[in-house]
Amino acid sequence: GEPVCECNTCYTGEDCSLLTPDCPADANSGDPLFLEPYWRRNAARSAVLVAGWHRMSYRSYGDSPISLELERYIRLLHDAVGNAVTDGRFIVFGIGSSQLLNAAVHSLSPDAVNVNSSSSPASVVATVPFYGLYKSQTEFFDSREYEWEGAAANWVNSSASSSSKFVEFVTSPNNPDGLLMKSALDGSSVIHDHAYYWPHYTAIPTPADEEVMTFTASKVSGHAGSRFGWALVKNKSVYQKMLQYLSMNTLSMSVDTQLRMLKIFKVILAELRNEGDIFKFGYKILNRRWTELNNIMSPSRRFSLQKLSPQYCSYFQKIRDPSPAYAWVKCEREEDADCEAVLKEAGIISRAGTAFDAESRYTRLSLIKTNDDFDQLLLKIEALVSKELLSSI
Ligand code: PMP
Tell me if 218 CB under 6 Å of ligand 1.
yes
The answer to whether the beta carbons of residues 357 and 34 sit under 8 Å apart is no
Cα of 164 vs centre of ligand 1, distance in Å, is 28
Tell me if 131 CB under 6 Å of ligand 1.
yes
pLDDT surpassing 60 at residue 1:
no
Confidence (pLDDT) at 173? 98
Nearest CA to ligand 1 atom 5: 175
Number of alpha carbons in the 13 Å side-chain half-sphere of residue 37:
10
Radius of gyration of the chain (CA): 22
Tell me if 216 CB under 6 Å of ligand 1.
yes
What is the C-alpha to C-alpha distance for residues 86 and 79, in angstroms, rounded to an integer? 7
Question: 65-271: what fold?
Answer: Aspartate Aminotransferase; domain 2 (3.40.640)
Cα of 173 vs centre of ligand 1, distance in Å, is 12
pLDDT surpassing 90 at residue 15:
no
Domain residue ranges of the chain, discontinuous segments joined by +? 11-30+277-391, 65-271
pTM beyond 0.90 = yes
Tell me the pLDDT band of 157, cut-offs 50, 70 and 90: confident
Confidence (pLDDT) at 104? 98
Residue with more model confidence, 117 or 172: 172
> What is the percent of the chain with per-residue pLDDT over 90, rounded to a whole number?
85
pLDDT average, residue stretch 167-171: 98
pLDDT surpassing 80 at residue 259:
yes
Residue 222 in 3-state DSSP? Answer: coil
Nearest CA to ligand 1 atom 11: 98
Q: Cis omega (within 30 of 0) on the bond before 129?
A: yes
**What is the CATH code for 11-30+277-391?**
3.90.1150.10
Per-residue pLDDT tens over the stretch 241-255: 999 999 999 988 999
Cα of 195 vs centre of ligand 1, distance in Å, is 6
Helix, strand, coil % (nearest 5) of the chain? 40, 20, 45
pLDDT surpassing 60 at residue 275:
yes
Mean pLDDT of the chain: 94
Nearest one of 320, 371, 29 to 200, comparing CA atoms = 320
Please report the atom of ligand 1 found closest to the CA of residue 228.
16
DSSP-derived pairing of the beta strands 25-26 and 348-349: parallel
Residue type, 157: N
ipTM here? 0.99
What is the C-alpha to C-alpha distance for residues 131 and 149, in angstroms, rounded to an integer? 15
Number of alpha carbons in the 13 Å side-chain half-sphere of residue 106:
19
Per-residue pLDDT tens over the stretch 45-86: 999 999 999 888 887 666 688 899 999 999 999 999 999 999
What is the C-alpha to C-alpha distance for residues 346 and 302, in angstroms, rounded to an integer? 13
Confidence (pLDDT) at 162? 63
Per-residue pLDDT tens over the stretch 126-136: 999 999 999 99
Residue type, 300: S
